[in-house]
Structure 1
């Protein structure tokens, strides 16, 4: 199996790394007037001590990004148009937040140099030109967006990523201090995204020694954090989770995701569930696919007293279930990974609908 993926060029790691962001960006400002664009999770709006740490210069732009819903093609197209109108082509884009904000930053970087709507580029290697310099600063751990080659967007027709080598960040800043105030439920949902990445990566046909090396270590760290530790939110575990997210993202990059992610895309597209909780809702019902890993997931849920929504399907119409199944079944690369190239012999929309009806 041949793989030739691009990795993040530079990674700053350690407590206090965020305060070095200004120095990192200074090297990329070719002129004193060069503009940087900061896309920041709006959860920090009004948090003046945090805002004061953002190395924003007078000529820079700052956009507060709402994460009440996952990023859309309309959002990215609108950001691109507003940035170009106000500043022309900037020197860089910096995404500070969770997976949604980082995906928005990656997609905006690409769309600043590619014509037309981002809906034209949802898929593999459809981007025509490299984007501009872009930096990811995660403030929550688990999504793997800081290292992945995908910027997942929801469009009018589908939820699918802009995926190519140019999507990958040029620089990331991993500062464990930034994730200490994440609410427990969100910490868990997003941490489980990492856990599920690893399970799916290592249980399908595209797994390989490279993906397993990252995946097994990331899985081990998730087990330590969420199952074996007295205090999952300890400072040591926050650092572990940040590294596990990085390694889990690399594991899926060199392999693929599977059944849970395919189902979660349907949940997010039709009912706008955030990716982390959508994965938890789906994984909670996949014992027939992922066996002992789902048992382990249940133990983690119980240990941390986490609420995983259930009995949702009682309020879904057959049309809504059909719509979700249609979104999911189109994700052929995930089904191939999970069940092999003959996946259509073991899977159809009725089986997918059956999984949704369990939720």
Structure 2
């Protein structure tokens, strides 16, 4: 076994209302009065005074509202980096992401690109980043993606969907305030929560499994069952448990990997623009061959919450379209090796992948 000394989020604040401590957290990190903090905020909160009025702006600090309607793209990151450079006199004191997984990934990527030359697409891969990122903070407003704790910023580029996986990617500070998730629409709550659930299944059933990953994965799975399958929780209890499930689910793949669902979902996202959470659900629904117990439980959760997944999203695709998705999916070697072992190419052929996509 090869060993990797992975960095983790160095500071975490947890608790309902902890968002109000942001000013105290940021003040010691300000480089000078001309080096602003840049707040990247999901534009669904543009008119949400309950959140925006609590952002502690001072000096030349700026809020940039960012659309999360589509999966984050390398060109979107490049455009935002250019915007920040043009609007600021000095390198920012920090980047603060406030939103879901898309905003988390964009914030991580921008903090890296402010200190590394070239385009974001140049850093899609593993350990390609050379320079330390600027100080960056993650404040999730929805739970499930694990983006607040992961060492990757997943981006769709011109040629592939792949994360900026590096030791400089993790946030320096995370604030876990479950109160910020109270207004999430039910479908989005389910799809994003299932991203966490699928992280757990793929990590726990993968060939990379180890006690470190297993410990976090089992706790996240337990919390997902409590939220989505068992008993009746108060809304506050459910919000807190899912927020911690997201954290533990993200940690479960830090020292292991995801698997079949994520590899196939990346193909859907690249070609069709399918959002990550719902894409994972559409794929996972067809994976009983690989994760029989996990898929059965997923279907029970889906039924309990009366969730109807989109059908036939691949029905009208051309052979060329399938080839593009297959190419994207097959490029994710670590995911396949974790799912199926070192001989995965003998199992997961292009024909096999196409047959799975055709069911979706």
* Aligned equivalent of 2:106, options 87, 104, 107: 104
* Aligned equivalent of 2:117, options 111, 115, 118: 115
Residues in 2 aligned to 1:298 and 1:188: alpha-carbon distance in whole angstroms: 12
Aligned to 1:34: 35
Aligned to 1:152: 154
CA contact (8 A) 1:94 1:105 kept: yes
CA contact (8 A) 1:185 1:307 kept: no
Divergent runs of 4+, >6 A:
none
Residues in 2 aligned to 1:198 and 1:227: alpha-carbon distance in whole angstroms: 15
Residues in 2 aligned to 1:246 and 1:49: alpha-carbon distance in whole angstroms: 25
CA deviation map 1:159-189 (0-9, x unaligned): 0011111000000000010001000000000
User: For 1:338-357, what aligned pairs fall within 5 Å after superposition?
Assistant: 338-357=339-358
Superposition deviation, residue 83 in structure 1: 1.0
1:205 aligns with 2:207: yes
TM-score, normalised to structure 2, is 0.98
Superposition deviation, residue 309 in structure 1: 1.1
CA deviation map 1:191-238 (0-9, x unaligned): 00000000001111111000000000100110111000235x621111
Listed as ranges, the gaps of 5+ residues in structure 2 are none
Superposition deviation, residue 283 in structure 1: 0.2
How many residue pairs get matched? 358
User: For 1:1-359, what aligned pairs fall within 5 Å after superposition?
Assistant: 1=1, 2-87=3-88, 88-231=90-233, 234-359=235-360
Listed as ranges, the gaps of 5+ residues in structure 1 are none
Superposition deviation, residue 243 in structure 1: 0.5
Superposition deviation, residue 14 in structure 1: 0.2
Superposition deviation, residue 68 in structure 1: 1.1
CA contact (8 A) 1:201 1:211 kept: yes
CA deviation map 1:2-59 (0-9, x unaligned): 2311010100000110010011001101323330001000010111222101112241
CA contact (8 A) 1:218 1:244 kept: yes
3-state SS, counterpart of residue 229 of structure 2 = helix
Residues in 1 aligned to 2:58 and 2:307: alpha-carbon distance in whole angstroms: 41
3-state SS, counterpart of residue 19 of structure 2 = helix
Bigger drift between 311-320 and 216-225 goes to 311-320
3-state SS, counterpart of residue 144 of structure 1 = coil
Residues in 2 aligned to 1:314 and 1:163: alpha-carbon distance in whole angstroms: 33
| Aligned-CA RMSD value | 1.0
